[in-house]
């Protein structure tokens, strides 16, 4: 049965099951606590994860991976430490913007920020310099443990090749494809997104390796 013979919800569950059978649990996001997730979500913008890991390692070596320490760290030193992640001056400003908002409105307490309901928390995150929709949803899903599906380039590529792309090429429409057709379950969203990233990196690349694809019998590409 091809993907065109299934309704959207059934198709998405079939895709998930095939990816999970192929790759197993991804245990994503790899981090020591919610604040490290947030730092990683900002640093990973336009960067390979291996480079982000080096930048995070540098921050840990400086004992600077807490909201208080990052707030007090001179921005020039912060930029130097996160240099491996690329765009380090811009990202240093983004990190500073986050911790300054956290300090000013929530006393530097991440738990106080996370008391906001999901809609309000997303709006608050999006109002911070350097936090776009993908970063905000990564923070919501992986740090705050809210059922907010993350849309990235891998997800868009795979969904489009499978013939499931929405009529409008917008972040919100791609997100609605998942949130309106799957149970609003944080653990499901976490695993599904991580599996799509894994598949997009290893198989469904810009030049896809279709013979190795566990979705090939569903895919009209």
Domain ranges of the chain: 3-27+149-212, 34-143
Confidence category of residue 5, pLDDT binned at 50, 70, 90: low
DSSP symbol at 139: I
Question: What are the tens digits of pLDDT across the range 97-151?
Answer: 999 999 999 999 999 999 999 999 999 999 999 999 999 999 999 999 999 999 9
Residue 201 has pLDDT above 80, yes or no: yes
Helix, coil or strand: residue 153: helix
pLDDT at 4: 55
The domain made up of 3-27+149-212 has a fold known as Endonuclease Iii, domain 2 (1.10.1670)
Which CATH architecture is the domain 34-143 placed in?
Answer: Orthogonal Bundle (1.10)
Distance CA 1, CA 14 (A): 11
> Rounded CA gap, 168 and 77, in Å?
42
State the Cα–Cα distance between residues 201 and 213, nearest whole angstrom: 12
Contacts 24+ apart (CB under 8 A), 179-187: 179/147, 179/149, 181/8, 181/9, 181/12, 182/9, 182/12, 182/13, 182/149, 184/147, 185/147, 186/141, 186/145, 186/146, 186/147
pLDDT of residue 35: 98
- pLDDT of the residue at 118: 97
How far is it, in rounded angstroms, from Cα 138 to Cα 48? 16
Q: What is the SS3 assignment for 108?
A: coil
The whole-number pLDDT of residue 2 equals: 55
Q: What is the mean pLDDT of residues 59-86?
A: 97
Mean pLDDT of all residues in 198-216? 97
């Amino acid at each position: 049965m091809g993907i065109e013979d299934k309704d959207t919800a059934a198709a998405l569950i079939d895709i998930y099951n095939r990816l999970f059978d192929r790759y197993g649990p991804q245990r994503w996001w790899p981090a020591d606590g919610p604040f490290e997730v947030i730092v990683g979500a900002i640093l990973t913008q336009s960067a390979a994860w291996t480079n982000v890991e080096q930048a995070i390692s540098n921050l840990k070596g400086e004992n600077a991976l807490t909201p208080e320490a990052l707030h007090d760290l001179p921005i020039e030193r912060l930029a130097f430490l996160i240099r491996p992640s690329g765009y380090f001056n811009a990202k240093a400003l983004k990190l500073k913007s986050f911790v300054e908002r956290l300090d000013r409105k929530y006393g530097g307490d991440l738990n106080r920020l996370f008391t906001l309901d999901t809609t309000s928390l997303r709006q608050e995150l999006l109002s911070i310099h350097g936090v776009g929709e993908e970063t905000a949803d990564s923070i919501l899903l992986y740090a705050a443990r809210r059922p907010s599906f993350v849309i990235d380039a891998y997800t868009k590529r795979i969904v489009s090749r499978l013939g499931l792309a929405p009529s409008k090429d917008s972040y919100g429409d791609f997100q609605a494809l998942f949130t309106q057709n799957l149970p609003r379950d944080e653990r499901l969203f976490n695993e599904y997104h991580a599996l799509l990233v894994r598949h997009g990196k290893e198989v469904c690349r810009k030049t896809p390796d279709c013979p190795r694809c566990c979705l090939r019998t569903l895919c009209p590409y």
